[in-house]
Amino acid sequence: MDMFENLLDKAKDAFDVALKATGEAVDTGKQKFNVVSLETKISKDYKALGELCYKKHKGEDIDFEKINELVADIDAKINEINEIKQAIKNAKAKRICAACGAAIEEDTIFCSYCGAKLEFTTEE
């Protein structure tokens, strides 16, 4: 683990503590943080791939199994990022009642809390 990753982990710990204190409200923020964290790891995988490519080009023997592992790793992380981004989008897609401010499921016409007819607005 290098220093940057170490810092990220420490920041994440602090964030987890903050999350426990404030509950669900920062959930989207945590998801976004996870995306950044995954993107950092993907960058490292790309760098490792680049080094292997460089060595190959220079005629050195390289471990092709390592390339397969890195590619599979990157694909898995990209999938994870897409899932998180979709989850963030879904969370945002909930409509907000203009009358009482409650977050309402997308497919309802009336607020299930106060009964007001819902406007077609989404939370920023």
Which is nearer to Zn ion, 76 or 98 (by Cβ)?
A: 98
Count other Cβ atoms within 10 Å, centred on residue 18.
12
Residues 41-80: x where in contact with Zn ion by CB under 5 A, - otherwise, as a string? ----------------------------------------
> Per rule CB under 5 A, is residue 97 in the interface with Zn ion?
yes
Backbone φ, ψ for residue 96 (5° rounding): -105, 125
Nearest alpha-carbon partner for 43 in 73, 20, 84, 15: 73
Give the one residue of 18, 36, 71, 114 binding Zn ion; rule: CB under 5 A.
114
> Per rule CB under 5 A, is residue 100 in the interface with Zn ion?
yes
Per-residue buried b or exposed e for 34-56, using 16+ beta carbons within 10 Å of the residue's own CB? bbebbeebbeebeebbeebeeee
Which is nearer to Zn ion, 71 or 114 (by Cβ)?
A: 114
Which residues lie near Zn ion (CB under 5 A)?
97, 99-100, 102, 111, 113-114, 116
